[in-house]
Amino acid sequence: MNERTSGHLSEEAVMRWQMGDAADAERAHVAMCAECEAQAKPLEDALSWFGAAARQWGEERAGLAEEWREAKAAAVEEWRASKSAAARSWRSMVAVWATVSVALLLIFGIGLPRWKAHRAAIEAQVQQQQQQQQQQKQELARDNALLDEVDQDVSQVVPEAMEPLSWNTANSGTVSSTGGKAARQ
Ligand SMILES: [Zn+2]
């Protein structure tokens, strides 16, 4: 189907269809395509109803037909204008809504979480610093404790090491004194 592959009817083609001026291919497409029919049919129905009514009312058919044709063209033009105006206002409403939602998204979607994240990061940093300080304090305390321990060990070790020395000197003193005594004796 050539009409199907060539896509849906353009706005102009829909208008031509509504006016009854559509080409055979366009007519065939509308007959097949529910989407295009839905787009074109409502006005076509209204127009044909008015047309039928006008034809019924008209006694001078030719003159009325011409008048009707002009009226129909004007109606189509008006309908098209109102449709595009509606589309425009719909578009501008969407644009406003999109802008507002983008703003809201920026504020609540990105700004707030980012601010929260920023605050959390700062808090984490502060906490980390505090932890580091505490760690440093703990390390310092541990170092001090180790130093104290070493100091205690050293102060314990030194007398122990010096004990035999002092004992020796005391002993040698006695030895020498006894030796002296012995030598004297
Ligand atoms: Zn279509």
Question: Which residue would you say has higher pLDDT here, 118 or 12?
Answer: 12
Mean pLDDT over each residue of the chain, to the nearest integer: 72
CA of 76 to the centre of ligand 1 (A): 19
Distance 29 CA to ligand 1 centre (A): 6
pLDDT band at 172 (very low <50, low <70, confident <90, very high): low
Q: Residues 134-153: pLDDT tens digits?
A: 777 777 787 777 777 777 77
How far, in Å, from the CA of 89 to the mean position of ligand 1?
25
pLDDT above 60: residue 183:
no
Residue 73 has a CB neighbour count (10 Å cut-off) of 12
Q: Residue 145: what pLDDT?
A: 79
User: Does residue 95 surpass a pLDDT of 50?
Assistant: yes
Question: Is the pTM higher than 0.85?
Answer: no
Q: How far is the CA of 7 from the centre of ligand 1 (A)?
A: 6
pLDDT tens, residue by residue, 19-70:
888 899 999 999 999 999 888 888 877 777 777 776 666 656 666 677 777 8
Residue 1 has a pLDDT of 45
- Which has more pLDDT, 169 or 51? 51
| pLDDT bucket at 159, cuts 50 / 70 / 90 | low
pLDDT of residue 4: 42
The alpha carbon of 159 and the centre of ligand 1 are apart by a number of angstroms equal to: 108
How many Å apart are CA 152 and CA 133, to the nearest integer? 27
Question: Which has the higher per-residue pLDDT, 163 or 58?
Answer: 58
State the distance from the centre of ligand 1 to the C-alpha of 26, rounded, in angstroms.
Answer: 9
DSSP string for residues in 41-79? HHHHHHHHHHHHHHHHH-SSHHHHHHHHHHHHHHHHHHH
Asked if residues 68 and 51 have their Cβ atoms less than 8 Å apart, the reply is yes
Residue 34 confidence (pLDDT): 92
